[in-house]
Structure formats: structure tokens, C-alpha cells
Amino acid sequence: MTDAADQLPNDLASAHAMILAERAARREAEAIAARAQAVNAHSDALIARMRLEIEKLRRDIHGSRSERKARLLDQMELQLEELEADASQDELAAEMAARSAAVRAFERKRPSRKPFPEHLPRERVVVAAPSSCPCCGSAKLSKLGEDITETLEVIPRQWKVIQTVREKFTCRECEKITQPPAPFHVTSRGFAGPNLLAMILFEKFGQHQPLNRQSERYAREGIDLSLSTLADQVGACTVALRPVHALIEAHVLAAERLHGDDTTVPILAKGKTDTGRIWTYVRDDRPFGGQSPPVALYYASRDRRQEHPERHLKTFTGILQADAYGGYNPLFKVDRDPVPLTQALCWAHSRRKFFVLADIATNAKRGKNAAAISPVALEAVKRIDALFDIERDINGISANERLQRRQRDSRPLVDALEDWLRAERAKLSRSSPVAEPIDYMLKRWDGFTSFLGDGRICLTNNAAERALRGFALGRKSWLFAGSDRGADRAAFMATLIMTAKLNDIDPQAWLADVLSRIADTPITRLEDLLPWNWKAHKSVADEAA
């Protein structure tokens, strides 16, 4: 057996050459390993992207069949974000390793990037042309063409002060002084322009950034705007925007059908916080082919007593889609003035109660502690999903067509579901877990089946739940409302911002324009400032420009 030491060279030159060869081999091995890691990272990111696209397509085609579907997509997007970052990092590491070794660099195949929007301004930077030919040295160069590389860049936010000059004139005859009127400000002796005010409002109520955080950020940019100063502007804007809010409120309460729901919001009290409520009433006629613009109206209260929905909907006459909260019951009484509302309950609420008992995926994660899957609950979910399949097909058509399809396709399924639920309930004991969701439906069967007699009614109350999602996420940032009036102000501004979003309007741009025009707009023309009319006005103005 030959000793490894016998293979070492005896002279210094050979040893030096061997060391260089070993270093080259090590670099090559490292480059190959880095390239392999980059390939694997790219493959993982590609697989994650394809899985996400497949899930989104399934949801678009079949709809969400699971309470976990939305959370699953959020998790997949977060996972894709991390994998894409890993793949880019590994690609650069492999490229750097390949520079020092005879290994082909790895280049990811990325999705084709969309061109930058045409409305963005272009800044042309021309690289200095050569003065002579690098090949022969001749100075006789003629331009053949050019290649343009576009790079997206951002300019830090710029602040400016607008000086409005009002010249004074005196009359030589009567010596009376004449001067144009001062420009309008939302606050008396105000200093903030409409774009700044809109930014403050949208960041506080749309992006859930409290005023103290905004003040700190502005200070880092060299602008001293104290918390009290910002709060003063918010209060003044609330007063200025009341006429627009009143029009939106009237539009909601004139609807044929409303979605209603509420969520908790902490409200500051003495030494503690009370569990207050944010109520929402959403008008959205698009599911039955209505042409009225969608609107979300919000109110706030410190508790959940039934007097609040009674006050909110005092003038409303129509259909109320909501959950089975008892506070709504006085609205459905026969002796209600002016008329009782029509009750329509949410099938998604009832399905959720069954789904908890039939969630196979969640149950599998619990391991030995998992309870047995309820076959009755699983069958109930399947039967309810069959109704949702029909609803997806008729979404957006007229109310009469929806009603005809429901009478033909949905009613037999609902009748069979009722008979099956009553038969299964008779077999169950009072303590059976699945007995509760069955009783929840059977005791309120008229409210659940009202959609069979009116094509305007939706099967779910998801429109109201979506409208409350911002508060559910935002309260983690602002923690609590400082007072009852603060909660009312949050509901007031949420009405404006969410209504703009529902009509595909940029809330900040809309608020800025409304604040700049509302003082000069006569009462008879206030409707022009509503989001759906403002959109039409802006499109005409853009075409004219």
C-alpha cells in the first residue's frame, strides 16, 4: 500500500502547481454545487408558482369550496415570496462562483415581464458615444441605431409650499381697497393642501397607520407635523365631507336589499377598553344584474344592543341579509313601522358550523387527539355545496332568471335537505355535536329558504363580511378607538374609502379632488362628487385632455 505522503512532490515548483490545481478543482466543485443549488431553488419556486396558479384557476372556475381556501392561497403566496427570494439569491451566488471556475453559469427562466405603464414619465439618459472605432481607430462613425434599456426607479416623496399671492388694489376715485378672496382651506386659517389631507386620511383609515406613526415618518423627512396638528386636520375633514357621506347613506338606505353584519372593535374606557362594535350595511345589486353602484355604510357603537340596528335601519324597507343575531329580530316583526323587513339568512354561516365537524384536513393534523369525522356533517356540507354550485352559475343574471333557475334546480335540493335533516335529527341525542348546527337551521328554516322566493336574495352574506375585513386587520395596528366619537369618525371615513374601492376608484385621489372642490360645489351638484359619478366625470375630463 502506497503512503499518501509518497505522492507529494519534492520540489517547490511542483508543490506550488499542485496547490493551484487543488484550488481550481475546489472552486469548480463549489461552482457546480452552487449551480445545483440554484437549479433546485429555481425548481422549487417554479413548482410553488404553478401550484398557486392552479389553485387560483380552480377557485375562479369552481369557487371556494372550503373555509380554508382563502387562508391556503395566502400561505401559498407567502411561500412563493420566500422561494423566489431564495432562488434569486442562489442564482447570484452561482454566477459569482462560476466566474472563478470553468463552469457554465446558471440563468433562471423568469416569467415574461410586462412593459412599464405608458403613463409613467421617461427620463432619457444617453451613454456617451465612442469618438473613434475601437477596431481600426477611424473617427468616421455613423449612427446605425440604438438599444434602450428601461429601469424602473422611484423618486422620494417631495414636499413643497404653494404660495397663493392675492394682490391688493386701491381705487383712485373712492380709495376703496379691492383684493381677491382667500383660497379655501378645510380648517380655518388652514395650511394643508387637499393632497396632503387625503394622504393623511387614507393612511389613517385606509392603511391603518395611526397619526403618531405618520407624524414620526414626516419628521424623518424634515416636516414637523405634530400629532395634535394632524388630528385637527382629520376632524376638520370629517366636517367638510359630511354632505358627501349623507348622500352615500341615503343611497344605501334606499336599496331593495342590504347585507348587514358587525365586528368587534376595542373602544377606550376608564382604565380599560370596552368591546365595541362596527356595523356595516352593504348595498350590492350586481349579483342580480342591478345597475346601482355598490356602497358600504358603517356605524359604530360601544355595545351590541338591538337598539343600534333598529336606529341604523329606521327608514329602510326591503330585504336584510344577515346572520341569526337576535338584535335584528324587531326589524322583522309584523307591527314594525313602516313595514317589516324580509329576513334572509346566510347559508355560509350554517355551512361553517357543519364544516368544523367535517374538516378532514384539520382533523388529520390533530393526530391522536382528533375527534371522529361526523358523517352527518360531511353529508350536510356536500348537500349545501350543491346549492352553491347552482348559485355560481346564476350570479350576475337578472332577478327573474335567478328565481326561475332556483325554482327548477335549487328547490328540489332544499326540500330534500330539509327532509334529510329532520330525519337525521330524530336519530341524534341532544348532546350530539352535529345536533346544534342542525337545530340552528331547522329553527330558522323560513329565513334560510327565503332565497327560493326572491331572485334578489343571495345565498350568503359574504359581501358584508368582506366589508368588515379591513377593521379585522386594522385593529391589530391601531389597537383601539380612543373614544366613541373616534369610533364614529373611523366608521364615517371607512364608508367613504370602502365605497370608493367598491367602485374601482383610488380612494386617496378621490378624497383629494373632493376636498379641493367641495367648497365651490353647490348643493344641487354634490352628487357629481360621489365615487361612481366622479369616475364618469374623470373619464370625460381625461378624454377632453
Question: Rounded to an integer, what is the distance from CA 224 to the centroid of its chain?
Answer: 31
pLDDT band at 387 (very low <50, low <70, confident <90, very high): very high
- pLDDT of 494 strictly over 90: yes
pLDDT band at 342 (very low <50, low <70, confident <90, very high): very high
Q: What are phi and psi of 394, to 5 degrees?
A: -105, 5
pLDDT in tens, 443-470: 999 999 999 999 999 999 989 988 888 8
In the chain, what's the furthest Cα-to-Cα distance?
A: 124
Q: Looking up cell 414620526, which residue turns up?
A: 216
- The least confident of 95-99, 139-143, 233-237, 248-252 is 95-99
- What CA–CA distance (Å, rounded) separates 230 from 201? 9
Please state whether beta strands 272-283 and 257-269 pair in parallel, antiparallel, or not at all (unpaired). antiparallel
pLDDT tens figures, 256-281: 999 999 988 888 777 677 888 899 99
Residue 193 scores a pLDDT above 70: yes
Residues 6+ apart with CB under 8 A from 296: 280, 281, 282, 283, 467, 494, 495, 498, 499, 502
pLDDT value of residue 162:
84
Q: What is the mean predicted confidence (pLDDT) over 84-110? A: 65
Q: CA-to-CA distance for 279 and 201, rounded, in angstroms?
A: 20
* Confidence tier at 441 by pLDDT (50, 70, 90): very high
What burial letters (b/e) apply to 358-387, b meaning 16+ CB within 10 Å?
bbeeebeeeeeeeeeebebbbbbbebbeeb
Residues 534-544, mean pLDDT to the nearest whole number:
61
pLDDT (0 to 100) of residue 417: 94
Q: What is the mean pLDDT of the chain?
A: 82
Alpha helices in 503-530 (DSSP H): 507-517
Q: Dump pLDDT digits (tens) for 34-83.
A: 777 777 777 777 777 777 676 666 666 555 544 455 556 656 665 666 66
Confidence at residue 539, expressed as pLDDT on a 0 to 100 scale: 55
Give the relative orientation of helices 435-442 and 347-358 as an angle to the nearest 10 degrees: 170
- Dump pLDDT digits (tens) for 118-158: 888 888 888 888 888 888 888 888 888 888 878 777 787 88
Q: How confident is the model at residue 520, as a pLDDT?
A: 83
Overall average pLDDT of the 427-435 stretch: 86
Q: Is the pLDDT of residue 89 over 60?
A: yes
- Give the residue-averaged pLDDT of 150-170: 83
Neighbouring CB atoms inside 10 A of 280's CB total: 27
Q: Is 45 exposed, middle or buried (0-12, 13-18, 19+ CB in 10 A)?
A: buried
How far is Cα of residue 129 from the mean position of the Cα atoms in its chain?
48
Bridge pairing between strands 177-178 and 295-301? unpaired
* Measured distance CA(290)–CA(402) in Å, rounded: 12
What is the reported pLDDT for 202?
93
Q: What is the pLDDT of residues 501-519, one digit of tens each?
A: 999 999 999 999 999 888 8
Task: Answer whether residue 532 shows pLDDT above 80.
Answer: yes
The answer to whether the CB of 288 falls within 8 A of the CB of 459 is no
Q: CA dihedral defined by 176, 177, 178, 180, rounded to 10 degrees? A: -150
Sheet hosting strand 257-269, strand order edge to edge: 295-301, 272-283, 257-269, 319-322, 342-345
- Please give the grid coordinates belonging to residue 68: 380554508
